[in-house]
Amino acid sequence: MRSSRLQLEPLVGARRPPRDAAAQGPRLGPGTRELDGRGPAARERAAPTGWRVGQGFDAHRFSDDPARILRLALLEWPGERALAGHSDGDVAAHALVDALASAAGLGDIGALFGTARPEFADAPSALFLERVAREVRARGFEIEHAAVQIIGERPRIGTRRGEAEVGIGHVLGTTVTVSATSTDGMGFTGRGEGLAALATCLLRPAASSLGA
């Protein structure tokens, strides 16, 4: 007698029909090449419908390489101990990249410019900010404002705060606030082992994306 059991198709390893590419949205990850022009030439995106807020954080330990130069907030700091990193180690710029990427739905700096990308070894962080700002605008946003706070004992940021704000603002095409604080000797920044930075940004829909 023939069995009446239902024959269930195995799910493990089964091929599923592809979903509509537009419904999936952009895929960002270590293999992404969109920011350097090597990804798909066109990608459908929904027009932004509201303001976005992004947050970013970065931390780097100090380098033992005496030939390395401290680069922080897109400035060089002669005589100060440099930060280690795959690129230039600029924690302020890297935190801003993360904030912008987060707000625009781009992922994070590791996915966009990570250590798996040898072409970004020792790269200046201005390059990262420029490229992520370009992609933010390509997605229909304008950068309303960005702010970054540097956490550490040295260098003294106040002496060059205005210079840093102008430099970062020029790259991003918006107003930027740079501030600094210490942890009163607590934690790795208080012990002088490295620096950290916390950034926020505010994006608004571009006028063109709203049909203005």
Indicate the DSSP class of residue 200. Answer: E
152: left (phi over 0), alpha (psi -120 to 50) or beta: left
Structure confidence at residue 115 (pLDDT)? 65
Structure confidence at residue 99 (pLDDT)? 97
Structure confidence at residue 167 (pLDDT)? 97
161-170 long-range contacts, CB within 8 A, separation 24+: 163/75, 164/72, 164/73, 164/74, 164/75, 164/92, 167/73, 167/74, 167/75, 168/73, 168/74, 168/92, 168/93, 168/96, 168/129
Mean pLDDT of each 10-residue bin along the chain, 212 residues long: 40 39 39 44 58 96 94 96 90 96 87 68 86 94 98 95 98 97 96 97 82 50
Residue 54 has a CB neighbour count (10 Å cut-off) of 22
Task: Select from 179, 183, 180 the least CA-distant residue to 193.
Answer: 183
Structure confidence at residue 75 (pLDDT)? 97
The reported pTM is 0.75
